[in-house]
Chain A
């Protein structure tokens, strides 16, 4: 069966410090990968998605970047955190289109709560 791991679960970082959140998926190949942010009491904002190694699409301009160095690894980074980067970050995967699946559901990790102080 497929599993998704996301870490760390919580993180407190000072303004101006770097960030690296990691997400890995097991049990599937060529997944679509996603990073979402959920601000307190609000809905989900899609930050980045990837359909393959080295292929990253950004939904909104921001202080963050994403990379996919391996097929099942997705990393969210920042060189200098801002207070506004605080939130709950969720990684997700879905079956890739290369497998002939359209509109398949997303499967989420347990999230990382980031507090920038």
Chain B
């Protein structure tokens, strides 16, 4: 079946540090991959997506590349800000079956 595994948190970084949140997946077919962000007390917002191998999704300084050979979609940002503190979810959709990872809580300290 389809599944997503992402690194466990929490992750705590200082402002301007480099961020990587690992995400790997298992899927049948050709999934689309997503990263969602959830700020405190809110619903999830789509952060970025990639629909085929080697695609790079990017938004707000965040990037993730669809790596079919390693079945990965790691989230990166070169310089995090306090306002990036949130929970990040990796997700995949394959044949309209949407699966989410468990979420990684990121805290950025000034």
Contacts and interface: CB of A to CB of B under 8 A. Distances in A.
A104 interface: yes
A103 B43 contact: no
Contact of B101 (A43, A106, A111): A43
B102 A103 contact: no
Contact of A43 (B31, B34, B43, B102): B102
Interface in B39-56: 41-46, 49, 51
B70 interface: no
A5 to B, nearest CB: 11
A77 B44 CA distance: 22
Band of interface residues on B: 20 to 34
Contacts of A79: none
Contact of B43 (A32, A105, A110): A110
Interface in A34-60: 34, 42-44, 46
> Looking at chain A, what size class is its interface with the partner chain?
20 to 34
Given A103-B51, A110-B43, 13 more contacts: A43-B100, A44-B89, A46-B98, A92-B43, A94-B98, A103-B95, A104-B32, A105-B32, A105-B49, A106-B98, A109-B43, A111-B42, A113-B41
Interface of A: 6, 32, 34, 42-44, 46, 90, 92, 94, 97, 102-111, 113
24 contacts: A6-B43, A34-B98, A42-B103, A43-B100, A43-B103, A92-B44, A94-B98, A97-B96, A102-B93, A103-B31, A103-B32, A103-B51, A103-B95, A103-B96, A105-B93, A106-B44, A106-B91, A107-B46, A108-B36, A108-B43, A108-B45, A110-B42, A111-B42, A111-B43
